[in-house]
Structure 1
């Protein structure tokens, strides 16, 4: 798929003039009203679309140009680099791209200021995505990329086994696999992301939610020893024990799972929306894959909301320009431009119903359906430590080092200590 730049400098200039009036209020800290060149710390853009959007901004704002700096691809390394930058109050970065779950930590430490009311058209943003940019009732980060886990499946293998629809429950998933494997030898049933990293936290949370439980309740208290939470953990443990999930999936992150599915080794695969374009283009499953909401214990499951948000560094000397640039990137015209060039789902709600977008990415209605039931990861200041605790104790359970009951009890104790 080729990328496209914004059509014409005039359109970019017009949008730039529209946004140029956004700024901070009087009496704000030094830098809050500052204008000038800015640096945006973001992730690697394999589609090379973002640099083209930045070029359009730079042509329209010759005195307020944007420079992109790529953070490490590994999420933990990227977070460490940003945290180190914030702790020394460096003004090296003006706009920072945050994993949706980092908002609370950065806001609580006052490393990012709240965004002014009216900067964004919040009514146009997917509600679940909007929530990831909020902390204590205020918007600190602008939702940009969003999405939730979906179930990829082999339409051809299901059809050959006489199965008309993808599974909506875990029992149906297991039964469908048994029917498929009677005809298609050498193919594994199902896999998500189970290596000991952030993806395991996400897959565990989805299993818990899909069994009717929650990792934390609305007041921030851990609830991982509830019958529903333990049922979610048991789904993962039983999956490895009975072969529903192959043992090699203990090493799977997103890319390992994607390759296994694309090479024809899996009937079902849980992953993010980005897989669709890659698996549809040049793989053994091209033209044979379908997309559905993830299954749950008694019906369609609940995914974990993912995504990336954009925030202004509290230590930026040009925060007014930084806010304007964020408003530009998440505006409807620019999001549409970005959406045409790559398959990462964006925060603009209208894109999920846009006929052009749905024709380009047929999975969008399914993704929106899944996002309506998706939940954000825990909004806790010490999220990184919380995630590490989840990874450790869930790994102990799925590798047989602890029983489900013991792993759940140990995890409850660890999370209670971290959030007390």
Structure 2
């Protein structure tokens, strides 16, 4: 197989490489690497496991790039890091003709592009879903999951009158001061018809629509719709709260579905929940577009092997295989249309709809500074340190300064 080239890069050299990603809590990475290593004993891949926290992952990858180290070969990038890593030339431009991009959902493919070039290949996508207690909604006489925030609150009020719902909270997402808060904030803003930035990355966050979105989160904490402890929730905290029966509704990624469905006693809601699109202000809301793409470190060795490994890891066959380990959203259209997969993973149709209507987080050069500003101001509003209006005004000012390079 020819090593190929793209953007002046020659993909040469074969031998051992590393794969760099966050903590493998589901066993997915090890299962894929075992398959590769059995087939390629002279080109083995070693897993470099980074912390669970996305901000810590990004920082370690940047440190490796700054020292031009060849310790990291293939990087698993959060989709929002693509522009930053490409702009700094920390990763190589990849040959588009080596990957079946036409078979993938278009919004997912665009996450790997930067200025007309491909810099990372989608390995998995992700869309936010509304998990809800089917048994409790049915007992309360509610025929369908809520489509708007007002319906969510009204439905929860009816559910909480049931003896079976005594002590339960209504709703939670991921509201701790980390990347998950950026996601939840952006979804609230987008679901109210606002935007954090426009298509060119210019800040648009100081708007009535954005305020309506942030007001929903702030107001829900004040009126008890969201429990106060949710300001400490990351993904796993929220998952445990829902699985233990503490929440009627939860905003969460699809990875929770099989965990909550386990009938081994680890989940109190097995067989009693389903998923729906996120609600919004006037109708269905919009998820942030999540997921991870594979990129090739510019300072890596054995790039011919790395390119083949990226093709292997991002292939349709591998994604079909990994669905059994972790239900991250597949990138290939065909996997959402396979009747056998839909029967086995009934969240797939809702997940596809979430992805096709998802809104990317800001695709900006300095994403780290942008998300830090969002987290700081959104958290200040959630905890009552600032009003929604003040937080959004300060955020708009900070984002403008960053966009101007000040």
Taking structure 1 as the reference length, the TM-score comes to: 0.92
Aligned to 1:71: 50
Counterpart CA distance in 2 for 1:155 and 1:123 is 37
Which of the residues 240, 248, 252 maps onto 1:267? 248
Aligned residues: 399
Structure 1, unpaired ranges of 5+: 1-20
Name which of structure 1's ranges 200-209 and 114-123 shifts more when overlaid on structure 2: 114-123
Q: How does 1:352-391 map to 2 (within 5 A)?
A: 352-391=336-375
Q: 1:7 aligns to what?
A: none
**1:43: Cα distance to partner?**
2.4
d(CA) in 1 for partners of 2:37 and 2:384?
Answer: 55
**Alpha carbons of structure 1 residues 242 and 270: separation in structure 2 relative to 1, 3 Å:** same
In the TM superposition, 1:196-275 aligns within 5 A as: 196-275=177-256
> Do the aligned residues in 2 keep the contact of 1:195 with 1:249 (CA within 8 Å)?
yes
CA pair 409-160 structure 1, distance change in 2 beyond 3 A? same
Given candidates 300, 303, 310, the residue that maps to 2:284 is: 300
Correspondences of 1:2-17 after superposition (within 5 Å): none
Deviation by residue 1:42-70 (Cα, 9 ceiling, x = unmatched):
22223334333323323332332222221
State the distance in 2 between where 1:203 and 1:216 align: 15
Aligned residue for 1:376, secondary structure, equals coil
Indicate yes or no: 2:329 matched with 1:349.
Answer: no
1:302-321 to structure 2, matched below 5 A, reads 302-321=286-305
Does the CA-based 8 Å contact 1:43-1:72 persist in structure 2?
A: yes
Seen in structure 2, the aligned counterparts of structure 1 residues 236 and 327 have a Cα distance that, compared at 3 Å, is same
- What is the CA–CA distance in structure 2 between the aligned matches of 1:394 and 1:275, rounded to whole Å? 25
Q: Which residue matches 1:6?
A: none
2:153 maps to 1:169: no
Shift of the 278–393 alpha-carbon distance from structure 1 to 2, 3 Å rule, reads same
Aligned to 2:383: 399
Instruction: Supply the distance in 2 between the matched residues of 1:394 and 1:80 (Cα, whole angstroms).
Output: 22
Q: 1:192 aligns with which of 173, 187, 195?
A: 173
**Cα RMSD after superposing both structures:** 1.5
| SS of structure 2 residue aligned to 1:96 | strand
Question: 1:26, CA displacement in angstroms?
Answer: 9.3
TM-score after normalising by structure 2: 0.95
Q: Say if 1:134 and 1:140, in contact at 8 Å, map to a contact too.
A: yes
Structure 1 stretch displaced more, 37-46 or 255-264: 37-46
Single out whichever of 66-75 and 319-328 deviates more from structure 2.
66-75
CA contact (8 A) 1:150 1:271 kept: yes
Q: CA, structure 1 residues 376+221, in 2 after alignment: closer, same or farther (shift >3 Å)?
A: same
Alignment CA distance shift 1:69-1:325 (3 Å): same
Aligned to 1:132: 111
Moved more, 183-192 or 270-279: 183-192
Match of 1:47 among 3, 26, 35: 26
